[in-house]
Amino acid sequence: MTLQARGVVRSYGPTPALRGVTVEIGEGEIVAVTGPSGCGKSTLLHCLAGILRPDAGEVTWQGHRIDTWSEAARSRLRRTEFGVLFQFGQLVAELTAAENVALPLLLAGTGRREARTAALTWLERLGVAEVADVRPGEMSGGQQQRCATARALVTEPRVLFADEPTGALDTLAGEQVLTTLVRLARQQNTSVVLVTHEPRIAAYADREVVLRDGMVDHTGLGLDTPLAGGHR
Amino acid sequence: MNSDGVSTPHVLLGLLAAGSKHGYELKRAHDARLPRARPLAFGQVYATLGRLERDGLVAPAGHGRDGGPERTAYALTEEGHAALDRWLTTVEPPMPYVASTLFAKVVVALLVADVDRARSYLVAQRQAHTARLRELTAVKNEPSATVDDVVAADFAIAHLDADLRWLHTTLARVADWHREVHA
Amino acid sequence: MRAAALLRLALAGTRTDTARVLLTGLSAALAALAALAALTVLAIPEPVGDPYAQAEQYGNALLREPGLRGGTAFALLLLVIPVLALAAQCARLGAPARDRRLAALRLAGATPGQVTRLAMLETGVASLLGTLGGLGLYLGARVLIGRPDDRGRLALPTDVLPSPGALAAVVLGLPLVAALATALMLRRVTTSPLGVTRRAARDRGPGPWAGVVIASGLVAFVAGGRVLRSYDGSSEATVWLLGVLYVGGGLAAMVGVVLGAGWISHTTGRLLHRYARRPAPLLAAGRLMADPWAGSRTFAALLAAVTFGAGAAVLRAYFVLQDQLAREQNRLSGVDAGDNPFYLATMDLVDLAIAVAVAIAAAGLLVAVVEGIVARRRAYAALVATGVPRATIARSIAWQSTLPAVPAILAALAVGTFLGRALFGDVSRGVTSTEICDASADLCADPVTRQQYTRMVSGPEVSRTADVPLEHLALLGAGALAAVLLTVAVGLLFLQASTAVEELRTT
């Protein structure tokens, strides 16, 4: 019941981004992926989430190799079992918060009324029920990110991929988003892959994987070092 | 880190400003308001009160007996209020000296040992910092956490975060630094 | 700033900027060609003495008859309008990115003047290269198609050249106008170094006042018809009034149709939003409501062409009926002939011009669709990353482009038809009388014997209203809709590249 990357290699043209990375994310586990800029954090997240196909190595989800799946199959996986959250700019500018959150449900064939009800519930949980009928351009960055979190969680995914989810927010707003995200993820037993370069954000995780130059950095807190203090 | 330099006399003055208290009440109020600070010993409370009384900043405000041992309650004097005001209006000098055991240890490690030694120290320290950061983050996100807890944890987290950033960058600079120290 | 530095900065851009420069040049070339064609027609010399003398060297009556040349040149100049609409659309391609780049230059300390010059330089140079290319093409084509046919006539006036001054005005004037327009469009960027900030409040959407504009145009046309009927042929002021009513009314109706596209976009968006059940129409509805003017802008040239085309269809029906009536009257006289075929031949040319205008408008539409996709590539890439299938996004773009197009085209057809019928409603032919000779050719040829065998045949006065050319209008509407669908289909080819995950990289 886990997500695994084994020996994943991925390059952008001649530039190697990942040079053989092996990680495993357990059920309900919150794992931070950290490291300096350009170490391959985001690329690893994209490979794990089935957004990118690795050049070599394999990615398995619950025992199935997903890196060999078609784009359509991986798309379906991403909108049912996975949730994805980026730094900014992921909400559809022309749709209201509630419509944005309802989008994944509508894609899954849920009725519009039902989808809206679920969206409102999730906006409520994220503490942004008041912006349900507001468009992203009229919200603060923190509100936008909460809406994006609601959209990522509305399908009750098994794994949530968050790429610098607080990167565009100030400390307090970022902390509020992350606290809620972690709390809700734990309630649902959703695993979280949290890409961040900030130690204080990584501290929300149960475990930290440090990347350096496209590899797991063993002088950092490597794969085999679960830290004390995770409150599970 | 930052545990040094806390002015216990002024903290006690502040706690007394809300109304007269005896020694035991003062200790309890201190530990409740500053939950993540080093707990105050009784001896320290009484010694400090003695000094404050000597300087005329506090004065005994009656004796309570309550069937137990005799307890002297203290209250702020006029001068005490003035002293507290002065302290509150004085801006703390931001980091007048770069003085930290952490910093000193890395310097010494570079002086007496090699890059690897300094690096392994930095890595170990980073691990310890990260563990503490994680612990405080967990405490802060406990459903039962009070604002007192959160604010205190925030203070520590911000400093740990700063230290961690310093550890990260210093790890990247350690080779250059060693070369300079041994030039 | 030195010229070299200015040029370096003007050329620093992305592929989108390159595309914009190329398209700007291309549309400048097209505009130059249309203007040169008009000028050439005007340059045909009028023979001295007789103002009605025909220029016998041409095969086409439009060029031969001096009275028609003005109208022909005017029609050619009208073709510049869709070309200019295309140019405006091209100028928007990648404009947000360009505006950001220019705003960054302002932040780096460039003065508003420097930034404006930079953008003007880009547009001006691209347009100049375009008009020079257009001139080259024109001169080359003159030589290639300048051969007389077997009757020694020229198909086009390839034997005359506009004056050098007029040529220079086109080649240099168009880039100048384009550069000035760029400076005008950049006002917002150059006044604030922060560039364009996010929109604060939501627009309520355009009101249906475009309907008032259309109605006033139609009323002016009907009033024009009244004035024309009561015209006794003496008053100069009435001629002026007629001109104002017809030209002003026609323009108002056309502008109203274009503005109305904004209202139509917003309203279809609202309705779609209310009834949509699936993500694709919902996304389309959101976009239609958020920027209804996008529809107005993109469809402007197409709708103008369709309105004009509908009017032309009515005119053709009028000529066809006239021809038919003439034929009936002639048959009474035992002659099988229609009206002067000149008018119907001219209508073929008008239809050709409309087809060209629709094609150019479709090119502008294509640019608009592509620019809409490219400008939103980050949002699309994010949607794809969260598992939204590309097909859903493609469907939403198709919905958003075609749905408002259908009612807008219908409106344009209706307005054009109305205008056409207000101008050319009834065909009436007065009493005719023809002398007929009922004898052998020999007898009739002799003036003396002819007298005995002739009789007068008179036809009654006829007045009939032409049918609404439904078939022709349907063809026009279908053609315009097909152009929209084709451009959307081509535009969607850019979606794949615009949703690549590379668009998401933050580091």
What spatial distance separates the first Cα and last Cα of chain B, rounded to whole Å? 30
pLDDT tens figures, C310-320: 988 888 888 88
Chain B residues with CB-CB distance to A219 below 8 A: 119, 123
Q: Find the radius of gyration of the CA atoms of chain B.
A: 22
In this complex, do C286 and A95 lie within 8 Å of one another by their Cβ atoms?
Answer: yes
Chain C residues with CB-CB distance to A153 below 8 A: none
Mean pLDDT (chain C) is 79
Q: Output the pLDDT for position A124.
A: 92
Count helices and strands (H / E) in chain A.
7, 10
Which chains touch B (3+ CB pairs under 8 A)?
A: A
Q: Which residue of B has its CA nearest to A232?
A: B138
Chains B and C touch (3+ CB pairs under 8 A): no
State the average pLDDT over residues C363-374. Answer: 83
Report which listed range, B84-88, C466-470, C484-488, is most confident.
C484-488
β-strand pairing of A56-61 with A191-195 = unpaired
What's the whole-model pTM score? Answer: 0.73
Which chains touch C (3+ CB pairs under 8 A)?
A: A
Helix axis angle, C95-107 relative to C15-43, nearest 10°? 110
Q: Which residues 68-97 of A are in CB contact (within 8 Å) with C?
A: 72, 75-80, 82-84, 86-87, 89-90, 92-95
Residues 6+ away with beta carbon under 8 Å from C278: A106
- Cα separation, B32 vs B89, whole angstroms: 24
A204 at B interface, C-beta within 8 A: yes
> Cβ–Cβ contacts within 10 Å for residue B73, how many?
17
State the average pLDDT over residues C213-218. Answer: 88
A38 at B interface, C-beta within 8 A: no
Q: How confident is the model at residue C49 (pLDDT cuts 50, 70, 90)?
A: low
Q: How far is A131 from chain C (nearest CA, A)?
A: 14
Chain A residues with CB-CB distance to C291 below 8 A: 94
Chain A residues with CB-CB distance to C277 below 8 A: 106, 111-112
Q: What is the DSSP code string of C357-369?
A: HHHHHHHHHHHHH
B123, B130, B168 ranked by CB distance to A203: nearest: B130
In this complex, do A106 and C198 lie within 8 Å of one another by their Cβ atoms?
Answer: no
Among B86-95, B130-139, C357-366, C485-494, which is the least confidently predicted range? B86-95
In this complex, do A203 and B133 lie within 8 Å of one another by their Cβ atoms?
Answer: yes
Q: Output the pLDDT for position C440.
A: 72
Which of A145, A120, A125 is closest to A185 using CA atoms?
A125
Residue A66 forms part of a structural domain: yes
Residue A224 forms part of a structural domain: no
Q: Which residue of C has its CA nearest to A153?
A: C386
State the average pLDDT over residues C425-431. Answer: 70
Q: Which residues 37-66 of B are in CB contact (within 8 Å) with A?
A: none
In this complex, do A202 and B141 lie within 8 Å of one another by their Cβ atoms?
Answer: no
B107 at A interface, C-beta within 8 A: no
CA distances (Å), origin C314, targets A210, B29, C198, C470? 75, 94, 47, 9
Q: Find the radius of gyration of the CA atoms of chain C.
A: 28
Q: Go through B39-57 and write b for each residue having 16 or more CB atoms within 10 A of its CB, e for each that does not.
A: ebeeeebeebbeebbeeeb
Q: How far is A124 from chain B (nearest CA, A)?
A: 18
In this complex, do A42 and C507 lie within 8 Å of one another by their Cβ atoms?
Answer: yes
Burial bucket for residue B14 (CB in 10 Å: 0-12, 13-18, 19+)? middle
- The strand pairing partners of A24, in sequence order, are A4
pLDDT tens figures, B116-133: 888 888 888 888 888 889
Q: Output the pLDDT for position C200.
A: 39
Chain C residues with CB-CB distance to A38 below 8 A: 507
The alpha carbon of C96 is separated from its chain's Cα centroid by a whole number of angstroms, namely 26
pLDDT tens figures, B128-162: 888 889 889 988 888 888 888 888 888 899 989 98
Q: Output the pLDDT for position A138.
A: 87
In this complex, do A199 and B134 lie within 8 Å of one another by their Cβ atoms?
Answer: no
Among A34-48, B29-43, C8-22, C279-293, which is the least confidently predicted range? C8-22
State the residue range of the domain holding A35.
Answer: 1-76+192-218
C107 against A230, higher pLDDT: C107
Q: Output the six-digit token pair for B170.
A: 């210093």
Q: What is the dihedral of CA C401, C374, C95, C102, to 10 degrees?
A: 160
CA distances (Å), origin C431, targets C338, C428, C434? 17, 10, 10
Q: Which residue of C has its CA nearest to A163?
A: C506
B119 at A interface, C-beta within 8 A: yes
Angle at A88 between CA C500 and CA C369, to 5 degrees: 45
Residue A95 forms part of a structural domain: no
C383 at A interface, C-beta within 8 A: yes
Predicted complex ipTM: 0.80
Return the CATH number at A214: 3.40.50.300
Among A181-185, B4-8, C94-98, C287-291, which is the least confidently predicted range? B4-8
Residue A43 forms part of a structural domain: yes
In this complex, do A92 and C290 lie within 8 Å of one another by their Cβ atoms?
Answer: no
A106 at C interface, C-beta within 8 A: yes
Report which listed range, B30-34, C270-274, C349-353, is most confident.
C270-274
The parts of chain A modelled with pLDDT lower than 70 are: 1, 89, 218-232
C392 at A interface, C-beta within 8 A: yes
B133 at A interface, C-beta within 8 A: yes
Q: What domain count does chain A have?
A: 1
C-alpha atoms less than 13 angstroms from C-alpha of C493 in its C-beta half-sphere: 7
In this complex, do A230 and B142 lie within 8 Å of one another by their Cβ atoms?
Answer: no
Q: Output the pLDDT for position C234.
A: 66
In this complex, do B157 and A228 lie within 8 Å of one another by their Cβ atoms?
Answer: no
pLDDT tens figures, A14-53: 888 899 999 999 999 999 998 888 888 889 999 999 888 8
Mean pLDDT (chain B) is 81
In this complex, do B157 and A221 lie within 8 Å of one another by their Cβ atoms?
Answer: no
Report which listed range, C40-44, C155-159, C217-221, C344-348, is most confident.
C217-221
Which of C73, C2, C80, C15 is closest to C371 using CA atoms?
C15
Q: Which residue of C has its CA nearest to A39?
A: C507
- Cα separation, B38 vs B23, whole angstroms: 17
Q: Which residue of A has its CA nearest to B151?
A: A172
State the average pLDDT over residues C420-440. Answer: 72
- The strand pairing partners of A209, in sequence order, are A33
A42, A77, A93 ranked by CB distance to C379: nearest: A93
State the average pLDDT over residues C472-488. Answer: 92
A199, A220, A221 ranked by CB distance to B165: nearest: A199
Evaluate if residue B5 carries a pLDDT over 60: no
A219 at B interface, C-beta within 8 A: yes
Q: Which residues 130-189 of A are in CB contact (within 8 Å) with B?
A: 179, 182-183
Q: Which residue of A has its CA nearest to C288?
A: A94
Chain A residues with CB-CB distance to B158 below 8 A: 200
B111 against A181, higher pLDDT: A181
The alpha carbon of A108 is separated from its chain's Cα centroid by a whole number of angstroms, namely 19
User: Do C401 and C283 contact (CB within 8 A), yes or no?
Assistant: no
Residue A4 forms part of a structural domain: yes
How many A×B Cβ pairs under 8 Å?
Answer: 55
- Cα separation, C187 vs C198, whole angstroms: 17
Chain B residues with CB-CB distance to A220 below 8 A: 123, 126
